[in-house]
Amino acid sequence: MDRRRMRVTLVVVCALSIFMISKQSPKINKNNIVDVKPNLEDQFEKEKEFFDGIWKLNNSNTEYYLSLGWFYYDNSSNFLSLTMFQGNWKSDPYWYISAGNLDYNSTEHILTAKIVYKLENGSGKNFNGTLYAKVLNNDSTELEGIVICDGKSVIFKAHAKNKQKEMFTRLYYAFMISVGYLIIIAALAKHFQVIYENSAQAEKTSLFSLGLMEVCELGFALWQLEKSFEGHLDSGIDYILISSFWSFSAFMLIHSKLLPIVFRAQNSNISSFGFYVSSRMTANYQSRFFLLCIIYIIILKLLKNFYYLTMPIVHMIFIPQIITNSLYGYKDSISFRNAGSILLCKLIIALYLFGCPSNFMRYEPNYLLCTNLIIICLGQILVLKYQQFKPRFLVPRKYRPMSYDYFRDESEESNLSRDNDNTCIICMTPLNIPIVHNEPIVNRSKTMHTPCSHRFHQDCLVQWIEIKLECPTCRSRLPVFEG
């Protein structure tokens, strides 16, 4: 994706966001609901209002965060739900209490109910209790009341959310995600272009790194999709869906473009089976890979309470690539700029979600997790940068695999040259080795000897290896040159 397309896409996203802001519906005064005529009732939809507030037990002075929802249609059809968090954040444990068919006294602006439903620790039950809520002002933006249920008395007070502020918070989040994922998708597209034109680069790309990126993007897209349909996100839902779209786009680019090319490059023998069979094998591999991604995401979902452990693992997307570089001595497996762009964008998004107190999900900041993510992401960037010069610096010298020596001493070269062709088939000029008969030497670079006993000029073979890790003569796989 070139810069012009990126700019156009960004302008379109911004224009779409501004258009959705202008379509926000005005607030309806609930005091006017009693004036609705019976024969016009079907012209009105059920309204809803969301509140933030505090709650405390009747015999305690400790106050906690409360999220309240009021769904109403007319005086005889009201529903009140209270989510009482045992802390100041939505990531804390909570009780859920609700009551339907509340009696609404329009004169005194009081809501009352005798049957309440309580959900705690995954189990819910109806109780004979009392819910009393009073509207404190004419525009119904403040409520206070008391709930008596299951032997507990809870006092609460709440005020209506500022929908415009909530909407803009989600808009800023969507804008940040859009800009970040434009950079990520541009980096992935650039790497796709490189491996499409150069199969040696595709062979150096780690499939496990691509798999971790797939899990990260698909999981993030599904998480945002889940959050966009949660009850308390009553405004700005479209913006969260836009963010989910960008994550899913990055996932599709990896799954449908990068993964097949890398798989074919690392399994070059499947091309001998014909186009139809090789396509089926590639599609089967993609299907199995997608299934593993789904299983991995389900495991992450089950371990959501241990997010401080799973999030660092999800962000180790280039650790398999670093291991691959160390094992095989790859210096340029992925562009440092592309890898750095991907990691930095993901780090900024993670720091917003887990380190910003005003994040749109009202999650409690976890600064220890943020510190770990910074160390993990910046550590990967620094290691990938240094591996461009010394790919095996992380492996102790005594444990490093023996690298292949492409050069021979002068006597051995002289013996090999007597009965063999002394021409480099890449440039079709004589090799610079001692030979019996005199030939004009055009290329003065050293001679390199492959494991399959073929010889080439050093500058010719080095350029060839950068394109393809195969012998130009017999197509045998060549080890990486570390000179």
**DSSP letter string, 151-209:** TEEEEEEEEE--HHHHHHHHHHHHHHHHHHHHHHHHHHHHHHHHHHH-HHHHHHS-HHH
Instruction: Band the pLDDT of 5: cuts 50, 70, 90.
Output: low
Please report which confidence band the pLDDT of residue 28 belongs to, taking 50, 70 and 90 as the band edges.
very low
Highest mean pLDDT among 66-80, 138-152, 204-218, 405-419: 204-218
pLDDT digits (tens, 9 = 90+) for 251-265: 999 988 899 999 988
What is the per-residue pLDDT for 375?
96
**Of 85-94, 279-288, 396-405, where does mean pLDDT reach its minimum?**
396-405
What pLDDT was estimated at residue 432? Answer: 78
Is the same domain home to 50 and 148? yes
Q: Is the same domain home to 154 and 170?
A: no
How many domains is the chain partitioned into structurally? Answer: 3
Tell me if 28 is assigned to some domain. Answer: no
Q: Domain boundary at 111, 143, 160, which?
A: 160
How many Cβ atoms from other residues are within 10 Å of residue 261's Cβ? 17
pLDDT of residue 417: 62
Are both 227 and 269 inside the same structural domain? yes
Same domain, 448 and 380: no
Contacting residues for 109 by C-beta, under 8 A, at least 6 apart: 31, 134, 135, 140
Nearest by Cα to 143 from 154, 157, 155: 157
> Closest by alpha carbon to 190, among 339, 77, 63?
339
Specify whether 358 is located in the same domain as 390.
yes
Q: Taking residues 272-282, report their average pLDDT.
A: 82
Per-residue pLDDT, 13: 54
Check pLDDT > 90 for residue 33.
no
Does the residue 476 lie in any domain?
A: no
Residues 187 and 247 in one domain: yes
Q: Considering the domain boundaries, does residue 309 fall inside one?
A: yes
* 322 and 462 both lie in a single domain: no
Please give the residue range of the domain that contains residue 422. Answer: 410-467
Here the CATH number for the domain that contains residue 436 is 3.30.40
99 inside domain: yes
Do the Cβ atoms of 423 and 457 come closer than 8 Å? Answer: no
In a domain, 15, yes or no: no
Residues 235 and 264 in one domain: yes
Range from 72-76, 80-84, 138-142, 208-212 carrying the lowest mean pLDDT:
72-76
pLDDT for the residue numbered 190: 93
Q: Are 270 and 277 in contact (CB under 8 A)?
A: yes
| Domain endpoint, select from 379, 399, 419 | 399
User: Which residue, 399, 430, 458, sits at the end of a domain?
Assistant: 399
Q: Are residues 273 and 366 in the same domain?
A: yes
Distance CA 143, CA 77 (A): 18
The region, left, alpha or beta by phi > 0 then psi within -120 to 50, assigned to residue 136 is alpha
- Tell me: pLDDT of 318 over 90: yes
Same domain for 51 and 121, yes or no, is: yes
Which of these, 202, 261, 266, lies nearest to 477 by C-alpha position?
A: 266
Q: What is the mean pLDDT of residues 146-172?
A: 81
Average the pLDDT over 446-454 and give the result.
Answer: 85
Q: If you average pLDDT over residues 206-223, what whole number do you get?
A: 90
pLDDT category, 35, cuts 50, 70, 90? very low
pLDDT at 369: 93
Amino acid at 166: E
Three-state secondary-structure class, residue 338 = helix
Predicted confidence (pLDDT) at residue 46 exceeds the cutoff of 70: no
Q: Which amino acid is at 87?
A: G
pLDDT at 62 over 50: yes
Residue range 98-114: average pLDDT? 79
Statement to judge: residues 96 and 233 lie in one domain: no
Q: What is the mean pLDDT of the chain?
A: 79
- Lowest pLDDT segment from 39-48, 62-71, 213-222, 339-348: 39-48
**Residue 24 confidence (pLDDT):** 42
Confidence grade of residue 453 (pLDDT, cut at 50, 70, 90): confident
**Residue 179: predicted pLDDT:** 92
**Residue-level pLDDT at 235:** 59
- Structural domain contains residue 3: no
When pLDDT is averaged across residues 133-158 and rounded to a whole number, the result is 82
Highest averaged pLDDT of the listed ranges 6-10, 94-98, 353-357: 353-357
Tell the burial category of 412 from Cβ atoms under 10 Å away from its Cβ (0-12, 13-18, 19+).
exposed
Would you say residue 428 lies in a domain? yes
185 plus 324 within the same structural domain: yes
pTM of the model: 0.72
Domain containing 104 — which CATH number? 2.40.128.20
Is 442 inside a domain boundary? yes
334 has a pLDDT exceeding 70: yes
